[in-house]
């Protein structure tokens, strides 16, 4: 008996069971290796700060820009000190809370308000909540999509100080729209210095530039409980 048709039928019915392996096989091993290196590097991070500039696009043209200093402490304590467009605004979030603290004027820390993290006023222009903005969340997002989203031909460049790679990912808000990411990874710290997000037509949606990382500076808890 010719077993080929039988094997084809089996592969058709059991394909869902093995689809994860098929997806994994579509990933450029060089991309997966640097992402694993990124994940490994972050395990030793107890806290970090960085300067961030975000540029959002609409219809292919720049629509909005924001700049801020970002603070992270393990067990997810987050602080964002804006410099543009709100030069005195601070947002603070502590893990497991459903509200964030908003301080409109850093010179007046006792003047503060509490808003739900789901409030549209506290979300980025891309729709991220404040608890979705730290690097650990982004690393999980990248790994999840490498493992579960079929990848096409990926870009990969590498030199002595940097690795640049691309991946396809479902959007991090609803998980429904396929988008392309291009990530610049510093080999000095094995974390991103630039994250570019595009639609599948190549139109820019968002560019995030990250610089001036500091690590394990023993950030005081008072930063997150003013």
The domain defined by 27-223 folds into: outer membrane lipoprotein receptor (LolB), chain A (2.50.20)
Q: In what order do the strands lie in the sheet with 178-186?
A: 113-116, 99-103, 90-94, 77-84, 61-73, 47-58, 204-215, 191-198, 178-186, 162-170, 156-158
What rounded mean pLDDT belongs to the chain? 88
Alpha-carbon distance 153 to 138, whole Å?
Answer: 22
Instruction: Find all residues with CB under 8 Å of 144, minimum gap 6, and list them.
Output: none
The pair of structure tokens assigned to 122 is 């506290």
What value does the mean pLDDT take over residues 105-127? 92
Q: In this predicted structure, what is the pLDDT of residue 5?
A: 41
Digit-coded pLDDT (tens) for 3-55: 444 333 333 333 333 334 445 557 899 999 999 999 999 999 999 999 999 99
Most confident of the ranges 94-98, 152-156, 195-199: 195-199
Domain-wise residue ranges, the chain: 27-223
Q: In this predicted structure, what is the pLDDT of residue 78?
A: 97
Cis amide linkage into residue 42, ω under 30° from 0: no
Q: In this predicted structure, what is the pLDDT of residue 4?
A: 42
Q: In this predicted structure, what is the pLDDT of residue 154?
A: 81
What value does the mean pLDDT take over residues 67-93? 96
Closest CA to 181 of 163, 156, 193, 199: 199
Cα distance between the two ends of the chain:
77
């Amino acid at each position: 008996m010719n077993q080929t048709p039988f094997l084809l039928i089996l592969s058709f019915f059991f394909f869902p069971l093995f689809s994860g392996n098929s997806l994994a096989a579509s990933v450029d091993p060089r991309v997966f290796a640097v992402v694993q290196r990124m994940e490994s590097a972050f395990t030793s991070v107890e806290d970090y700060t960085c300067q961030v500039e975000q540029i959002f696009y609409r219809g292919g043209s720049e629509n909005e820009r924001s700049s801020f200093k970002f603070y992270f402490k393990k067990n997810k304590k987050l602080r964002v000190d804006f410099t543009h467009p709100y030069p005195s605004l601070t947002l603070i979030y502590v893990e497991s809370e459903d509200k964030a603290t908003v301080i409109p004027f850093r010179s007046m820390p006792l003047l503060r308000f509490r808003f739900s993290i789901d409030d549209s006023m506290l979300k980025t222009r891309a729709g991220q909540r404040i608890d979705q903005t730290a690097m650990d969340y982004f690393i999980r997002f990248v790994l999840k999509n490498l493992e579960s989203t079929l990848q096409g031909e990926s870009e990969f460049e590498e030199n002595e100080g940097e690795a640049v790679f691309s991946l396809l990912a479902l959007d991090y808000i609803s998980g429904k729209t396929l988008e392309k990411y291009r990530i610049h990874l510093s080999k000095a710290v094995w974390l991103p210095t630039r994250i570019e997000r595009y639609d599948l037509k190549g139109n820019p949606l968002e560019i995030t530039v990250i610089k001036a990382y500091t690590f394990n500076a023993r950030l005081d808890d008072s930063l997150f409980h003013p």
